[in-house]
Amino acid sequence: MSQTLTEQIDAVAKFGMLKADIPDDITGNLAPQIELRPYQRTALERWLFYIDKYEGRPKAPHLLFHMATGSGKTVLMAALILDLYRRGYRNFLFFVNSAQIIEKTKENFLNPASAKHLFAPSVRIDDKPVDIRAVDTFDAVNTDAINIHFTTIQGLHTRMQAPKENAVTIEDFRDYKVVMISDEAHHLNAETKSKDKLTKDEAKDKASWEGTVSEIFRQHPENMLLEFTATVDLGHEAIRAKYADKILYDYSLRQFREDGYSKDIELRQADLPPEARMMQAMVLSQYRRKVAEAHGLHCKPVILMKSKTIKESADNEAAFTAMVAGLTGEGSGRAQGGF
């Protein structure tokens, strides 16, 4: 069995061949408050080795950074954009699954006043000032700037199917080499999954997204596709095969925690129906908020309820909304008695 890309790069790392100084064009142009963590440096070392020395690198690389939630994937994206600029790339397509994430990302990339701004106040590469701009299309952009088109995967698919004036079109990707950056990239794998693993709605909606991204990627021989996610389904045989030659760095939540960067995770299990578990989760979340407030700490409780399918998620959301709307003291008391 041939080695995966991760295994090949790991083997090189054992001999100390990945150690490299991160270029000043990267470190000097990130925001002053950003100090690269060791695992982020490792990710960049692996990138530099791959892009400069890896003999099996295709002209149009497609890579995945499989990194834990909270590990600073967006910082790594900014670092890669800076490095790719010095390698001649000017146009970047950033897409995710959520419009809310797009707005937060634009703020972090473009607004120097943002507390989470990613770049230095003045970006200079090869001793020349470089602007970072959001663009609607890659036609007639500033060839000395970093031009980023921010979009959702749904919006991108719609525009490719129904082109509009002054908007990005498939021709943009034929005429200009583009770096495609996909955040939360696990949403792109609907076509790769076998049909029996998807509902009919998922197969209809999501397969077209993956196909659109693949079509754009193929438009120019020097395009790049860089994916970032914490949750690619490597337990799925077809997806594991798809990414065997694409995962450049695999930094798990377990490793993130062992390195001391993540909070400890505690698990609580209850053998109860879904609505009873929802109630317990809500009561426990509010209890924690009250405890925090009693100690002068402000926090915003978050409850994540996972479902296997989109339909099941919608049904559970409706059930939760109805449960909260009809909540009584007696009902919450029964939930507390179950702890």
Nearest to 224 by CA among 59, 47, 26: 59
Q: Tell how many helices (H) and how many strands (E) occur in the chain.
A: 13, 9
Above 70 in pLDDT, residue 241? yes
Give me the half-sphere count of Cα atoms (radius 13 Å) on the Cβ side of residue 168.
Answer: 28
Asked whether 302 and 236 are in contact (CB, 8 A), the reply is: no
Model confidence pLDDT, tens digit, residues 11-24: 999 998 898 899 99
For residue 267, tell me if it sits in a domain. no
Residue 265 in this model has a pLDDT that exceeds 80: no
Q: Alpha helix (H) ranges present in the chain?
A: 5-14, 24-27, 38-53, 73-86, 99-110, 153-161, 170-175, 200-217, 237-242, 253-258, 274-294, 310-325, 329-337
Which residue has 């790594």 as its token pair? 76
Mean pLDDT of 140-163: 88
Q: Does residue 34 register a pLDDT over 60?
A: yes
Structure token pair of residue 53: 């020395």
Residue 168 confidence class, pLDDT cut points 50, 70, 90: confident
Identify the pLDDT of residue 48: 97
**pTM of the model as a whole:** 0.81
Is the residue at 229 inside a domain?
A: yes
Residue 337 in 3-state DSSP?
A: helix
- Which stretch, 63-67, 191-195, 288-292, 330-334, has highest mean pLDDT? 63-67
Please give the residue range of the domain that contains residue 325: 274-337
Query: How would residue 203 be classed by pLDDT, with cut points 50, 70 and 90?
Result: low
What pLDDT sits at residue 338? Answer: 54
| 137 and 242, same domain (yes or no) | yes
Whether 176 and 282 share a structural domain: no
Q: Is residue 264 one of the residues assigned to a domain?
A: no
Examine the domain organization and report whether 10 and 80 are in the same domain: yes
Q: Is residue 163 part of a domain?
A: yes
Which residue type, as a one-letter code, is found at position 253? L
| Residue 53 and residue 132 share a domain | yes
Are 215 and 117 in the same domain? Answer: yes
Predicted confidence band of residue 51 (pLDDT cuts 50, 70, 90): very high
Higher pLDDT, 63 or 195: 63
- Over 60: is that where the pLDDT of 118 sits? yes
Tally the domains of the chain. Answer: 2
pLDDT band at 204 (very low <50, low <70, confident <90, very high): low
What confidence score (pLDDT) does residue 228 get? 95
